[in-house]
Amino acid sequence: MAAGPDSRLLRAVLEPWCPVPFVAWPMPGLPGWVGSLDLVVVLAPDGSDHGSALAVTEALRRGAQVVVAAPEKSLVTEHAEGRWCHLLPIVTGDQSAAAVVMLEFLDRVDLGPRTDVEDVAGALDHVATVCSPHQDLSVNPAKLLAIALADRTPVVWGGTVLAARAARRVAESLRRATGVSAIAGDAEHLLPVLESAPLQDLFDDPLESDSASLPPVLVVLDDGSDEPVVAEQRDRLVRAAGERRVRVETLTCDPGATSELARYASLLLQGRYAAAYLQIGLTGE
């Protein structure tokens, strides 16, 4: 089982592949069934989380094998000692980076799919280049998305398991950066939101709109999946948006990203850049 921030990302990656049952547990502590036959992986990117430290202590007390991704000198690593505990030292507080380090380890012990760290790093480098503040608005997807979201309520959707996870993280980033409502969910949960959106008059002045009831904008995170179910859900959402004259914005991942994890990282970082640009535009900070 996985505990700590982004444990659900590990579940999304591992569930289709892992040869044993896998559970994500993002809450403090551990479920009561964890024991000596279990492997507990703990993500603690900043190392100061008391809940993660408690999870490590409790897992070791119950005799479970433990793998921890955390800074070497931190509260969590102080509890990660013993013959059944393995530490993966990290030097960044980024949740996704800690998850990639853990996934690479699980790949090496044949408990996870192949994790190409260089592929993920290449995808992130590509996003950092195309979304750079020095890139002109016309070719910067993050700046374009930020402008599209400035007077709208973001409704973020991703079709695959990892794209859906990225959608939730992007919505979190938008809420944190601006304080404005932003939602993410499965197609069946978002369709009622789009279908009930007030029909916008093409001649309405957006400057006179009520800020408490901003119209939605559908943000599609496209990771290149060609699965028929994903395509059908996307068509339903786009069609519903079109019927209510709701704007649709699409983020696509780095075309050079070959793995699902790299495509996830590409979409997530673009969304974070957009949130940062939106925060600057709305608050000046």
Q: What is the mean pLDDT of the chain?
A: 90
Residue 69 predicted with pLDDT over 90? yes
Q: Taking the mean position of all CA atoms in its chain, how far away is CA 4? A: 14
- The reported pTM is 0.89
- Residue 153: closest CA among 211, 84, 206, 228: 211
Mean pLDDT of 183-211: 79
Quick one: what percent of the chain has pLDDT higher than 90? 66
Residue 240 predicted with pLDDT over 60? yes
> 219 is written with which tokens?
């943000």
Mean pLDDT of 162-191: 94
Mean pLDDT of 115-137: 94
**SS3 category, 86:** strand
Task: Give 3-23 pLDDT, tens digit per residue.
Answer: 887 888 999 898 888 888 888
Residue 265 predicted with pLDDT over 90? yes
Residue 206 predicted with pLDDT over 80? no
Mean pLDDT of 34-44: 93
> 23 is written with which tokens?
């559970």
Look at residue 211 in the predicted model and tell me its pLDDT.
46
Residue 202 predicted with pLDDT over 90? no
Identify whether the C-beta of residue 68 lies closer than 8 Å to the C-beta of residue 77: yes
**SS3 category, 25:** strand
Look at residue 170 in the predicted model and tell me its pLDDT.
97
Look at residue 21 in the predicted model and tell me its pLDDT.
84
Look at residue 275 in the predicted model and tell me its pLDDT.
96
> 152 is written with which tokens?
């709208």
Who wins on pLDDT, 164 or 255? 164
